[in-house]
Amino acid sequence: MDYKNAICVLPDSLITAIQQHIDGEYLYIPRKNENKKAWGELKNSKQIYAQRNAIIFEEYNCGTTVEELSNKYFLSPKTVYKILSSMKSNI
């Protein structure tokens, strides 16, 4: 998320009105609903994690233990179990 200086993008009258409510502090202005992006949409992370999870599931089915998978992928055993459970329910 990039920060912009309000002086550069907002009219003086609006800055004055905002300063009456919150002076000198950070203010988050959310996106409009129609402009919101889904999780992982910008950087393909959703697809990357889906591929990783499919590999974890395949390795588990070939005999790799949860402990080995958690060490290999730097995940907690609990997270590996969640991935396996999710992959099993998708079959």
pTM for this predicted structure:
0.60
Task: Write out pLDDT tens, residues 5-25.
Answer: 999 999 999 999 999 999 889
Contact 66, 81 (CB under 8 A): yes
Alpha helices in the chain (DSSP H): 6-9, 12-19, 45-61, 66-72, 77-90
Sequence-separated (6 or more) residues with CB below 8 Å from residue 38: 46
How far is Cα 5 from Cα 24, in angstroms, rounded to an integer? 11
81, pLDDT greater than 80: yes
